[in-house]
Amino acid sequence: MSAESVSLLGDLVLSRTALDRADEVRHDNDELDNLWGLPTSRLLELHGDHVAVDVEKEVTRVEDQGAVWLVLSDPTQHSATRPTEALFLGFSQGCAIFAVESDPQLRLVRASTLRLIGTLVNDSDADILTTAMALANWHRRHKHCSLCGERTVVDRGGWMRRCPVDESEHYPRTDPAAIVLVVDPEDRALLGRRKIWPEGWFSTLAGFVEPGEAAEATVVREVGEEAGVVVDQDSVEFLGSQPWPFPSSLMLGFHARALSCDEPEPDGEEIAEARWFTREELLALCESGEVKVPPRISIARHLIERWYGEQLPGDWSR
């Protein structure tokens, strides 16, 4: 593998970083209140998985260019004072950025989701929306203390929940998952179809890292469990990571080699189909529409195309 192909990070749209997360500000409620009231501060309203978007913004700087933009408003239009539940995301281009949960049933004039616009927004909006979704998803699912069951309260600008009974502190959860493109000795790629997916949808194999397990070990274990393919553990190579806030994963991307060309044996529980593809076969099937690969927002797509050598036509999206 060439030096140019070692890292995927520059290609992963949800890994783009533009926010100054300003950890030191999270601890200062007075400063957070002050930032909320500044005319330069901006607020992203989350309506479940949807946000308001704009496709007609005037662009004056190269770094602001994109096909779609988030609609960011004056925080004081939402509330004169900072709500306890408001999430402080950090600073973007010198402006404080907050996010709040709003009515998910509200009919927005133009709305979309991170899955659909992740490849269309600029670096700043990508980082804002990815961070906001990851934090909001955690708050939705972790409202009670894991020690005593009491309802917790939001603290540190949304980056912690505190139990008012036992004073325990609870921090946002991120679940690491290993995702891998495996090739056999003939350089064919292993792709699988999950049981819940429609016919023709294929992707790389993936699985969550278990407690006490290294991510590289997860690659070997998951490929063996899901597809019956034995991976050479010395061949497992980390290429890059991408947050995947659906709801709270961090995808760790790998390439690896199988020890043989034996046909895969899908487990039938999670993976319904698993097969080897040559580059010629995959291209022909993608062009005909018989096979669909993941959308470009996903790290899986980049792992596949890194092996293939260039972009493939078509994709599937939910």
pLDDT of residue 194: 98
Nearest of 306, 285, 119, 78 to residue 202 by alpha carbon: 285
The mean pLDDT of 170-196, rounded to a whole number, is: 98
76-85 contacts, C-beta under 8 A, 24 or more apart? 76/36, 76/37, 77/43, 78/43, 78/45, 78/102, 81/33, 81/36, 82/32, 82/33, 82/36, 82/37, 84/153, 84/154, 85/139, 85/154, 85/158
The more confident residue out of 60 and 317 is: 317
Q: Which CATH architecture has domain 174-308?
A: Alpha-Beta Complex (3.90)
Q: What does each C-alpha distance from 58 to 64, 66, 74, 312 come to in angstroms?
A: 9, 10, 18, 32
The more confident residue out of 316 and 161 is: 161
Q: Is the pTM of this model over 0.85?
A: yes
pLDDT of residue 58: 56
pLDDT tens digit sequence for 247-299? 999 999 999 999 999 999 999 999 999 999 999 999 999 999 999 999 999 99
Pairing of β 95-101 and β 111-113? unpaired
Share above pLDDT 70 across residues of the chain, in percent, rounded to a whole number: 93
pLDDT of residue 67: 87
pLDDT of residue 1: 37
User: Is the predicted pLDDT of residue 26 greater than 80, yes or no?
Assistant: yes
Domain boundaries in the chain?
A: 13-141, 145-173, 174-308
Contact call for residues 287 and 84 (beta carbons, < 8 A): no
Pairing of β 205-208 and β 169-170? unpaired
pLDDT of residue 57: 65
pLDDT of residue 6: 46
Confidence of residue 318 (pLDDT cuts 50, 70, 90): low
The mean pLDDT of 90-96, rounded to a whole number, is: 97
Contact call for residues 254 and 274 (beta carbons, < 8 A): no
pLDDT of residue 175: 97
CA distance 112 to 53: 7
pLDDT of residue 8: 65
User: Is the predicted pLDDT of residue 5 greater than 60, yes or no?
Assistant: no
Share above pLDDT 90 across residues of the chain, in percent, rounded to a whole number: 89
pLDDT of residue 106: 85
User: Is the predicted pLDDT of residue 59 greater than 80, yes or no?
Assistant: no
pLDDT of residue 55: 86
Average pLDDT, the chain: 93
Q: Which range (29-33, 95-99, 148-152, 310-314) has the least confidence?
A: 310-314
By three-state DSSP, how is residue 95 classified?
strand
